[in-house]
Amino acid sequence: MNIDWPWPWLERNLDDIAEATGEHLFLALLPVLVGLAVSVPLGWAASRWRVARGILVPLAGVLYTIPSLALITLVPLALGTRIIDPLNVQVPLAIYTIALLVRSVSDALAAVPREVTAAATALGYRPVHQFLTVELPLAVPVIVAGLRVAVVSAMSLTAVGALVGIGGLGQLITEGFLRNNGVELVVAIALIVVLALVIDALLLLVGRAVTPWVRAQRGTGASA
């Protein structure tokens, strides 16, 4: 494999790399957001009704074990999408995110102390308001932890999309491989890893910023 001094190649292809990076982020992050939006109500249902939990949690476990390549090739058949439609990657990514988060959300909501929810109800919260301002905020630390795993795996899974003709940094990997261009390969892989780490760190920071009570508790070591 031929690894040249990378600057000339980088300079020539900066626009393409930037475009592929943007595409990669769009392909990877949008499904995670959609998956999160779907997981919260599903997780809520699973935390509330035993039957829902009995169906949703095992189903999520099964979905998560399906190999990504299989899912990516099966989805177009199921959805009837064309072969290079971004949905072919995004739908599987959303499914993985949901599979990962449903259980987290459900467990986190179930872990909210009963006296806290009982007190909220007794003080006069209406159910939706109570869910959004009491239960959900208390589930945020667990949800953020799940989200970090989901984002990192979505960033790497998106690269697999290149195998079915979807853009993003994965395309640079396949291209670099075909053209025997080591620089292109290394740059694409490095970008995926760095971006995943940066987003992971951002999520960690945002998660901490919106849950000041968690740190306050740890700071004193006090317990209830």
Partner 1 sequence: MIEFRDVTKQYPDGTVAVDGLDLTVEDGKITVFVGPSGCGKTTSLRMINRMIDPTGGSILLDGKDIRESDPPLLRRGIGYVIQHAGLFPHRTVLDNVATVPLLTGAGKRAARARAAELLELVGLPQEVARRYPPQLSGGQQQRVGVARALAADPPVLLMDEPFSAVDPVVRDDLQQQLLRLQSELDKTIVFVTHDIDEAIKIGDRVAVFRVGGRLAQYDTPSALLAKPADDFVSSFVGRDRGYRALGFLTATGVPVAPVATVPAGGEVARAREALVDGWAVVVDEERRPLGWVSAETLSQMDGSVDAEQLVSGGSLFEVDSTAGTAGSLRNALDAALSSPAAVGIAVDGRGAVVGGVTAQTVLAALADARRSGEVPG
Q: Is 123 in the site for partner 1 (CB under 8 A)?
A: yes
CA 213 to the chain's CA centroid: 25
- Residue 130 burial (CB count, 10 A): 16
Contact characters 81-100, partner 1, x per CB under 8 A = --------------------
Dist. CA 158–CA 205, nearest whole Å: 24
Q: Is 121 in the site for partner 1 (CB under 8 A)?
A: yes
Q: Is 50 in the site for partner 1 (CB under 8 A)?
A: no
For residue 181, the cross-strand partners are: 2
Q: Is 216 in the site for partner 1 (CB under 8 A)?
A: yes
Interface stretch with partner 1, choices 132-140, 160-168, 176-184, 199-207 (CB under 8 A)? 132-140
Given the complex with partner 1, which of 144 and 160 has the nearer CB atom?
144
Q: How far is the CB of 35 from partner 1 (least distance, A)?
A: 24
Cα distances (Å, whole numbers) of residue 203 to 27, 97, 103, 147, 214: 18, 15, 19, 8, 15
Task: Give the 3-state secondary structure percentages of the chain, helix then strand then coil, rounded to 5.
Answer: 85, 0, 15
Q: Which residues contribute to the site for partner 1 (CB under 8 A)?
A: 113, 115-116, 118-126, 134, 137-138, 211, 213, 216-217, 220, 222-224
